Amino acid sequence: MIFIRTLISFFRDPNYLDLLYTTLTFLGAGTIIYRLIEGWSWIDSLYFCVITLTTVGYGDYSPQTDGGKLFTIFYIMLGIGLILSFINTVYQHYENTRQEGKKKKKKHSKES
């Protein structure tokens, strides 16, 4: 329940939505560029972007062209900060929502 409430409040806040749109745009741009440079399928390009920027890096895909390698260097340097910021923002929002829920519960139980 708290997770759904957090998501709803997250999507209602314009600041969080800006971060979400920026993150999705960055992933989309990377997907398009890898598709063009490396010739990967759309899903493989998106998959590579996500596993790279979340620092999972399974190693099943890696750029083979010089252009792909150079792009990856800059993509990682810019993208990891963006993705970590997004993940941290979602986590902080979740924690704040959870804390507010606890406070409301305590307040309600004191009034009863």
pLDDT, averaged per 10 consecutive residues of the chain (112 residues), comes to 73 81 94 98 96 89 96 94 85 82 74 62
Q: Is residue 4 part of a domain?
A: no
Domain count, the chain: 1
Distance CA 85, CA 35 (A): 26
pTM: 0.74
Distance CA 60, CA 51 (A): 10
Dihedral in degrees, nearest 10, Cα atoms 54, 59, 64, 70? 30
Distance CA 24, CA 83 (A): 10
Q: Is residue 105 part of a domain?
A: no
Q: Is residue 3 part of a domain?
A: no
Token pair, residue 69, equals 């390698």
Q: Is residue 43 part of a domain?
A: yes
Q: Is residue 106 part of a domain?
A: no
Q: Is residue 109 part of a domain?
A: no
Domain that holds residue 58: 17-90
Distance CA 34, CA 47 (A): 10
Domain of 72, CATH number, reads 1.10.287.70
